[in-house]
Structure 1
Amino acid sequence: WWPRWPDPVAFRNKSADGISHAPGWSKPVLEELLERRGVAAIGHEGMDTDPGRATSAGDASLEYYVLSRDCWQIELLANLDKVPEAGALIMASWPKPKAGSGFPARAVAIHEAAG
């Protein structure tokens, strides 16, 4: 999804009726990761945790779910298509402004080379 950035029209991918068709997480996947596997963070290429159809209806329930689990998330990640589905370590670093809720980050994936 990241190659659509920084074009806001392409990134939101709205249909003629104004509904966004951007990707997002599903509740079962988030439950698996956060409750059963104990991950501390999630990341995604889009601007929202919830799929575009949900955010178009004002629904941010998956975002609230993630935050209620004391889990943090990294949004607008790029080049995830170059990271293997399993076995990679992603490191992220950013400053934390006083009373801030977000900040640009640098995220780097470490994994064995293919081949």
Structure 2
Amino acid sequence: MKRPGQPAVRDPGLQPERTRLAWRRTTLACAVVAVLAERPALYGTLYGRGSAPRIAAAVLVALALAGFLWVAHGRIRALAAPRPPVLRPRTAAAAVGCAVALAVFGVALVR
């Protein structure tokens, strides 16, 4: 029990582990989306039907996935600490930006 004048002791329990697993699931889902989005571009390129815009979109999908993996890996490593730091707004914005870019470039490839 907390006594008056003492700082509260935080017991995170399993919350950091659940959050770390959620980041891993999201990373896996983004990788699957990237592979499925790039498949038409790469298939067309292998059989001579590829075009420069489709190849450029495939490269942008790969870059967006790499950016998301970089952000997610950093967050997963941070959550392994005994007292994980709070997610910074800049990191959250980078993750959202990569996910949105992945979706936009994926739609451009599928069309």
- Both structures adopt the same fold (TM-score exceeding 0.5): no
How does the TM-score come out when normalised to structure 1? 0.24
Task: Kindly name which structure, 1 or 2, has the bigger radius of gyration based on alpha carbons.
Answer: 2
Which structure has more strand as a fraction of its residues? 1
More helix by share: 2
Structure with larger RCO (C-alpha < 8 A, sep 6+) = 2
